[in-house]
Structure 1
Amino acid sequence: MNGENEIQKAYESILGHDFEKAIEWFEKAIAEEPNNAAYHHKLSITFTRSNKLNKAVEHASKAIELEPDNEAFRFHLQVLHARERVEEARKLLSTPTEHAERAIFLLKEAIVLDPLAIEAYLILGEAFALRNDFTRAYQTVMEAVRLEPVNEVAKRQAALYQLKMK
């Protein structure tokens, strides 16, 4: 038995923008072939698109467990770990607490894990601004602008922090 038919149905669901149905089909494929690392990887990507980060990490980890030398699987899990850190930092910064230092640490880790995580740079800039460290806020957000020059949020934040530096 194999899950290729289920995988095809999952892709059809994705093309129809029905990610929940795609998840069901990927899960059926995994039930057919539980040790197929590629199926776990594909399901992880679909969970990521559906903002189900915990499930995405679970299946990405399983894919690596089954195929430890697969660099694409490793990179995907690394990006997911970066997203976890960004989410944790966002939560820390959303309440008036003294956890800004922990949030900054998490965001720096996220950037190491995924140097293209624009959101991490933007939130890190906000964290520096909350400490009135507008020079570092500006420098951090300018890195986001360098990586994604059309990002209007990054450009607005950079302009704001540049004004506050004066």
Structure 2
Amino acid sequence: MDGYEAMQKAYQSILAHDFDQAIAWFKQAVKACPDNAEYHYRLSISCMRSSRLTEASIHARRAAELEPDDDTYRSHYERVRAREHVAQAQNYLEEGRDRAYFSILLLKQAVELDPLSTDAYLLLGMAYADVDDYRSALRAISEVLRLEPDHSLAIRLKQEYEQQLHQYTTSSTKFEKSEGK
């Protein structure tokens, strides 16, 4: 079977909501035509949608290498890398507060790679809050709300972080006054 036929089978599988089978067909297309950037790109998209980020990254990178002047392939690879950073940052945050700084670094890279990633901004806000940097947390959450004004979790976190910042600045002011006496 040639690459074109395998691609057609992959699209049929997608229409039938059989995404694992679609990935298998996309892999067949890549195997038949390993230097076809479009095949790698389509496989990467399906892998990303199925949370197979490592595979998605490999094929997104390959598509971008095969067609370095193609903005679609390059920007897709950046989005995949951003998702990888978000996933890794989330793992760090689950390990505890002492890993929050690693998360912040990864999430800053993620938003540079994909400035439309509400997940990256949301997690960045949460990571900043974990280290009591509520001003930065609010900036990140505000970015989520700029991208998605009705994001319910971001709305709730914004209120929470505004309260935390107010409490922090109020207690800092009281401490500074008591130290000055």
TM-score for the superposition, normalised by structure 2? 0.87
1:149 corresponds to which residue? Answer: 149
1:80 corresponds to which residue? Answer: 80
Higher helix share: 2
User: How far has the Cα of 1:46 moved from its partner?
Assistant: 0.3
Q: Is it true that 1:63 corresponds to 2:63 in the alignment?
A: yes
| Residue correspondence of structure 1 range 154-165 to structure 2 within 5 A | 154-165=154-165
Residues 40, 59 of structure 2: 8 Å contact kept: yes
| Secondary structure, counterpart of 1:98 in structure 2 | helix
1:13 corresponds to which residue? Answer: 13
User: How far has the Cα of 1:102 moved from its partner?
Assistant: 1.8
After superposing the two structures, state which structure 1 stretch, 93-102 or 56-65, moved more. 93-102
Larger radius of gyration: 2
Distance (whole Å) between structure 2 residues aligned to residue 110 and residue 75 of structure 1: 13
Deviations 1:3-35 (A, max 9, x none): 212111111111111110001111111222121
Q: Is it true that 1:140 corresponds to 2:140 in the alignment?
A: yes
Distance (whole Å) between structure 2 residues aligned to residue 84 and residue 130 of structure 1: 21
Query: What is the RMSD of the two structures over their aligned residues, measured on CA atoms?
Result: 1.3
What is the aligned residue count? 166
| Secondary structure, counterpart of 1:99 in structure 2 | helix
* Structure 1 letter corresponding to 2:2: N
* Structure 2 letter corresponding to 1:21: Q
2:113 corresponds to which residue? Answer: 113
TM-score for the superposition, normalised by structure 1? 0.94
The verdict on how the C-alpha distance between 1:138 and 1:97 changes in structure 2, with shifts beyond 3 A counting, is closer
* Structure 1 letter corresponding to 2:102: R
Distance (whole Å) between structure 1 residues aligned to residue 86 and residue 46 of structure 2: 19
Distance (whole Å) between structure 2 residues aligned to residue 97 and residue 138 of structure 1: 18
Deviations 1:56-92 (A, max 9, x none): 0011111122212111000000011111111111111
1:123 corresponds to which residue? Answer: 123
User: How far has the Cα of 1:44 moved from its partner?
Assistant: 0.4
Unaligned runs of 5+ in 2: 167-181
Percent identical: 43
1:3 corresponds to which residue? Answer: 3
User: How far has the Cα of 1:2 moved from its partner?
Assistant: 3.5
1:90 corresponds to which residue? Answer: 90
User: How far has the Cα of 1:97 moved from its partner?
Assistant: 5.0
Deviations 1:68-124 (A, max 9, x none): 211100000001111111111111111125222221111111101100111111111
Unaligned runs of 5+ in 1: none
Residues 97, 130 of structure 2: 8 Å contact kept: no
Distance (whole Å) between structure 2 residues aligned to residue 64 and residue 139 of structure 1: 32
Residues 97, 131 of structure 2: 8 Å contact kept: no
